[in-house]
Amino acid sequence: MMETHLGNFEEVILLITGILGEEAYAFKIADEVEIQTGRTTSIGAVHSTLNRLENKGFLTSQFGKPTVERGGRRKRIYTITAYGRRILAASRDFKLSLWKQYPDIIIDSLIYGRLSIKGI
């Protein structure tokens, strides 16, 4: 059993940060989360997660350029670290290995939702 230190929301944020690249700052990330997941979230919640991920060493950040629509304020650009990339890969591999062990019939029924299994 491996411990990823990565919650679901954290994983989403981490992935989106990677996707956005140069444009990965709190407002844009929150915007993208809404687009990708369809769920509304607040910048504060995203910022809080980013802060946590940075503390864990998955992200690093530096100030970007100020822009007019921000009232001339700088933005904080988050960049995924090598450790962060490794943890994302490990998370993906772990899940894939779990999926590989999954019986095929049940995969179908899970996908199409026809079979209910006790305990799930």
Give 22 or 69: the residue with its C-beta nearer to other proteins: 69
Q: Is residue 13 involved in binding other proteins (CB under 8 A)? A: no
Applying CB under 8 A, among 22, 69, 101, 111 the residue interacting with other proteins is 69
Contact call for residues 42 and 30 (beta carbons, < 8 A): yes
Give 15 or 45: the residue with its C-beta nearer to other proteins: 45
Which residue is associated with the tokens 């981490």? 14
Cα–Cα distance between 15 and 33 in angstroms, integer? Answer: 10
Give 74 or 95: the residue with its C-beta nearer to other proteins: 74
Reading phi first (left if > 0) and then psi (alpha if -120 to 50, else beta), residue 119 is in: left
Give 55 or 116: the residue with its C-beta nearer to other proteins: 55
CB atoms inside a 10 Å sphere around CB 84? 22
Q: Is 5 helix (H, G, I), strand (E, B) or coil?
A: coil
Q: Is residue 5 involved in binding other proteins (CB under 8 A)? A: no
User: Interaction with other proteins in 19-48: which residues (CB under 8 A)?
Assistant: 25-27, 30-31, 42-45, 47-48
Q: Is residue 52 involved in binding other proteins (CB under 8 A)? A: yes
